């Protein structure tokens, strides 16, 4: 190559790649509106973003993997937990975790119900942004502090066992099902839901009680009903439901999310808690 060729090669290459770079940048910007669902940015989403900033949520949490790594990533939280859970959680986070067990609690942000609805709207918009698979897997804090709630110590053994009780326990601890986010199995530890310690005996007592409003006739039937149709009979408790005859805080869609066999495995496991 002569000197002149080299220079042309350099200039041509630089121009070509600069053009590709500009082209790709423009192309990305062209897609932003669509990828971010710009038309879904309502007043509530905007207000919710302000709530998020005013309360420095990012000082502990991440969105899209960006932020502080003290607390779980919330990019997909509305899809993982649902609005009923998040509303109850944000009203009083301490209700969902035991300080004794988890060692670390989220401070109560003292939001009013409007602010809670707005920040959930914002998080729901975030969850629907097409971030092309980023972060590649949910970023969960797996330290001892989160054990049980986030699968840090979740036993994986049961998932390959043939024993329905072991499989049921593995399901119970599966982070995606979130049972352990709301239920402790230690006696006396009340999270968002009651402790399931002594479940078998309590189930027997409940079906025999005149105030029982469901249709189960034995303990296993009651446990199954509690999982599939939580609102049929409400466990009394100030924050467990919207009130007597109301709706349980427990998600009502496990009956469709779980296979029949999986429900039987959960029942088999919970029936061993005496």
Binding residues (CB under 6 A) for ligand HEC: these are 55-57, 59-61, 70-72, 74, 77, 81, 85-86, 89, 93, 97, 102, 104-107, 109, 119, 172, 177-179, 181-183, 192-194, 196, 199, 202, 206, 223, 226-227, 230, 234-235, 240-241, 248-251, 254, 266, 270
Q: How far apart are CA 85 and CA 93, in angstroms?
A: 11
Q: Are 74 and 61 in contact (CB under 8 A)?
A: yes
State in angstroms the smallest separation of the CB of 99 from ligand HEC: 8
- Whichever of 41 and 232 has its CB closer to ligand HEC, that residue is 232
Its sign, for the CA torsion 97, 98, 99, 103, is negative
Q: What is the dihedral of CA 90, 85, 194, 228, to 10 degrees?
A: 180
Q: Are 214 and 231 in contact (CB under 8 A)?
A: no
State in angstroms the smallest separation of the CB of 162 from ligand HEC: 20
State in angstroms the smallest separation of the CB of 261 from ligand HEC: 14
State in angstroms the smallest separation of the CB of 6 from ligand HEC: 57
Residues 6+ apart with CB under 8 A from 35: 129, 130, 131, 132
State in angstroms the smallest separation of the CB of 31 from ligand HEC: 28
Q: How far apart are CA 98 and CA 101, in angstroms?
A: 5
Q: How far apart are CA 136 and CA 11, in angstroms?
A: 38
Task: Put residue 245 in one of left, alpha, beta given phi > 0 → left and psi -120 to 50 → alpha.
Answer: left
- Whichever of 99 and 162 has its CB closer to ligand HEC, that residue is 99
State in angstroms the smallest separation of the CB of 246 from ligand HEC: 10
- Whichever of 131 and 239 has its CB closer to ligand HEC, that residue is 239
- Whichever of 41 and 228 has its CB closer to ligand HEC, that residue is 228
Count of CB atoms situated within 10 Å of the CB of 115: 19
- Whichever of 89 and 125 has its CB closer to ligand HEC, that residue is 89
- Whichever of 154 and 178 has its CB closer to ligand HEC, that residue is 178
């Amino acid at each position: 190559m002569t000197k002149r060729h080299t220079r042309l090669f350099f200039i041509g290459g630089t121009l070509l790649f600069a053009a590709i770079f500009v082209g790709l940048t423009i192309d990305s910007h062209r897609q932003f509106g669509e990828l971010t669902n710009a038309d879904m940015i309502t007043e509530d989403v905007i207000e919710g973003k302000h709530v998020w900033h005013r309360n420095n949520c990012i000082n502990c949490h991440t969105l899209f993997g960006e932020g502080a790594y003290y607390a779980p990533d919330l990019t997909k939280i509305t899809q993982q937990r649902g609005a009923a859970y998040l509303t109850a959680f944000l009203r009083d986070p301490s209700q969902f975790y035991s300080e004794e067990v988890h060692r670390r609690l989220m401070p109560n942000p003292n939001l009013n119900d409007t602010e809670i609805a707005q920040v959930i709207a914002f998080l729901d918009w975030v969850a629907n942004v097409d971030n092309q698979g980023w972060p590649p897997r949910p970023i969960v804090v797996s330290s001892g502090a989160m054990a049980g709630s986030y699968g840090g110590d979740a036993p994986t053994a049961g998932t390959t066992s043939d024993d329905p009780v072991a499989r049921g326990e593995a399901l119970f601890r599966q982070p995606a099902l979130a049972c352990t986010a709301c239920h402790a199995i230690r006696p006396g530890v009340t999270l968002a839901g009651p402790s399931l310690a002594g479940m078998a005996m309590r189930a027997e007592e409940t079906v025999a009680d005149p105030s029982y409003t469901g249709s189960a006739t034995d303990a296993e039937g009651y446990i199954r009903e509690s999982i599939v149709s939580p609102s049929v009979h409400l466990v009394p408790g100030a924050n467990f439901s919207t009130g007597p005859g109301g709706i349980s805080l427990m998600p009502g869609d496990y009956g469709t999310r779980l296979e029949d066999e999986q429900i039987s495995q959960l029942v088999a496991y919970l029936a061993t808690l005496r």
